[in-house]
Amino acid sequence: MIKPVGVIMELENGMVKDANMGMITLARQKDTILYALTMDGPAGAMKEKLSAFGISNIIEIKLAEDLRHNPDVRAKAVMEVVKKFNLSAVFGLSTARGKDLLPRIAALLGSPLVMDCFHVDLEKNMAETSRYSGKTLARIKVTGPVPVFGIRPNAKEPVREQASAGIIQFDAGSIVSKQLRVVKTSETGKGSKISLAEAEVIISGGRGMKNKENFILLSQCAEKLNAAVGASRVAVDSGWVPYAMQVGQTGEKVSPKVYIACGISGSIQHFAGMKTSGMVIAVNLDETAAIMSNCDYYAVADALEIIPELTKILGKS
Amino acid sequence: MQIFVCVKHVPDSAVHIHIIDNHHIDENIGFLINPYDEHAVTEAVRIRDAHPGSEVIAVCLGKQDAEKTLRSAMAMGADRGILIQSEKYHDSIETALALKTAIEHDGSPVLIFTGKESIDDQGMQTQFRMGALFDFPVATNVVRLEILSDKALVDTEFSGGVVNTYEMTLPCIIGAGRGLNTPKYPTFPDIMKSKKKPVQTLLFSDLKIQTPAARMEVVELIPHLQKRQPRALTGNAVETAQKILHILKHEAKVL
Ligand SMILES: Cc1cc2nc3c(=O)[nH]c(=O)nc-3n(C[C@H](O)[C@H](O)[C@H](O)COP(=O)(O)OP(=O)(O)OC[C@H]3O[C@@H](n4cnc5c(N)ncnc54)[C@H](O)[C@@H]3O)c2cc1C
Ligand SMILES: Nc1ncnc2c1ncn2[C@@H]1O[C@H](COP(=O)(O)O)[C@@H](O)[C@H]1O
């Protein structure tokens, strides 16, 4: 049986984020036809890119202009689309925005929902995610109509498959929210920093960075690496960096291709947020720090020396 | 006004988890109040104190032992507790139904607080399920809350420090984020006082909740294997940096 599956696109500065492509690849399974749902931009501009990843239809959802950022309105619009196109499952990114949208959709639909999935099997209705603050993987069976899956960015390598996407307009201009009004949004502006959850490379600092100023060394290196900067809770609690940069059990859960930990000891709570990274490189003065025995490469060295050196040679190469 | 706070009894984050028969954990470990729920309790108490005549009621669905988490909430200032006792595991769909039923039984909420997520299930959804059941608006990862006469103004935080401000009608549901406040550790007298506060115990089965059509069921837990084989990068700072560059380029292929 053919399964029409909805994949909610997340845009940034009018562009389809790269993280969507991995999600589309994950949603593309036996007997599926994929509908990309967009609420933030003209479908025409993304047609070529989405076609290259096997999207059959792009549904351009037109919301009332002044309600475009309202998560309640957005969730209701997706629900209407699910009904109209008889979608059998919905995928979205488990990003900060996804965490404010996908549970609303599932609650409205009375659907099962698994957030932060690494893998989804639509034949078996099984999702893989993490549990116990990242200490275990869990296979979760979902039962019931139109399961919703939040996909962890970078969980799957994007793979192309050529299709030719048609464009469908869907008017949701009459959907309103009586209960929730958006007073102010601060959208990430142009040239904004790379989001932690989606970064391919993360360079993080902990207590070993010693102060706020030294975090600039990490930002400078990150700029050359096209990386995001993360931090341990100690760095956050010391007031060196904002909470939004915290990686760990009570911070962001990340799966970059490379995680570079500078002056971080590797506590169980820090690992909870980054253990699914592809490669871990640790720079620490203490050879016995937990992170040194649980990484791919380690340097027993002063991060305050190594990082500026790395920035320098990156600049040259 | 009645302010409810949903608090979950979760395994201590610092302990190692042992998996038994493939889909349970050995629960013979320390359990604590879910860290985000501490922020929820703290905020509920702050709002109560600013609105004389209000009361804070902590609600928990859990095993008998979960009374400890209600006591923690009361040591942090909640006035009383409701334990919905069940020896079974419930997914967030059933949990939200149980919490809603118990809250409705007890009174009429103006505010319901939750954490933004539980650290064991990492579901991120119980608050939204309750919102749909009550038909109340919901905001999650709330880092600032202001109660006006008939509405709530909240800042919710997105990644990269981006903040959105929502205005919601009352009653509403607030999923507390870490930036909302700084929970105070209860003092010894707080703890002694909390022991005298009332906890009402309801049995889950007495709530007569119909099994929902939708379900999420853990069929297998797999330990996160640490298969990494650490290799040393040696040499002076320049050499080490060069080695890292080489790895990023040729092995990780991110440059
Ligand atoms: C409920 C709860 C939730 C938590 N959530 C989180 C979370 O989300 N994220 C998180 O990170 N933590 C979290 N923690 C805190 C966690 O337990 C640790 O305290 C914290 O991760 C330690 O941070 P750190 O590695 O920066 O500091 P430390 O453990 O102090 O380690 C600093 C390291 O830096 C090294 N060092 C010092 N100077 C240098 C130098 N010049 N160059 C190189 N290395 C150097 C030292 O050898 C040491 O290994 C949580 C704790 C609790 C109880
Ligand atoms: N069994 C429970 N008892 C009380 N509150 C709960 C329970 N499960 C979840 N919650 C609340 O819902 C929030 C989100 O949980 P979750 O959807 O599991 O991430 C938690 O922070 C709690 O406030």
Residues A219-260 have pLDDT tens digits of 999 999 999 999 999 999 999 998 889 999 888 888 899 999
Subunit contact A294:B123, Cβ cutoff 8 A = no
The whole-number pLDDT of residue A190 equals 34
A48 Cβ contact partners less than 8 Å away, ≥ 6 residues apart: none
pLDDT of residue A189: 40
* Mean pLDDT of the residues in chain B: 95
Characterize the bridge pairing of strands B19-20 and B24-25. antiparallel
Chain B hits for A299, CB-CB cut-off 8 Å, are 232-234, 240, 243-244
Do B158 and A198 touch, CB atoms closer than 8 A?
A: no
User: To the nearest whole angstrom, how far is the Cα of A166 from the nearest Cα of chain B?
Assistant: 32
Token representation of residue B126: 């119980």
State yes or no: pLDDT of A193 exceeds 70.
no
**Quick one: angle between helices A71-84 and A96-109, nearest 10?**
50
**Do residues B134 and B107 make contact, with C-beta atoms less than 8 angstroms apart?**
no
Q: Is the pLDDT of residue A186 over 80?
A: no
Burial class of B62 by CB neighbour count within 10 A (0 to 12, 13 to 18, 19+): buried
Rounded Cα–Cα distance for residues A214 and A180 (Å)? 42
Is A187 in the B-facing interface, judged by CB distances under 8 Å?
A: yes
Predicted pLDDT at A195: 80
Ligand 2 atom nearest the C-alpha of A103 is: 17
What per-residue confidence (pLDDT) applies to A135? Answer: 83
The residue of chain B with its CA nearest to that of A291 is B230
Does residue B161 register a pLDDT over 80? no
Which residue in the set A138, A141, A258 is minimally distant from B221, CB to CB?
A138
Please tell me the distance between residue B117's alpha carbon and the centre of ligand 2 in angstroms: 7
Give the atom of ligand 1 at the shortest distance from the alpha carbon of A267.
21
> What predicted TM-score, i.e. pTM, was given to this entire model?
0.89
Question: Atom 6 of ligand 2 has which residue's CA nearest to it?
Answer: B8
Find the closest chain B residue to A317 by CA distance: B245
Query: A120 is written with which tokens?
Result: 């989804």
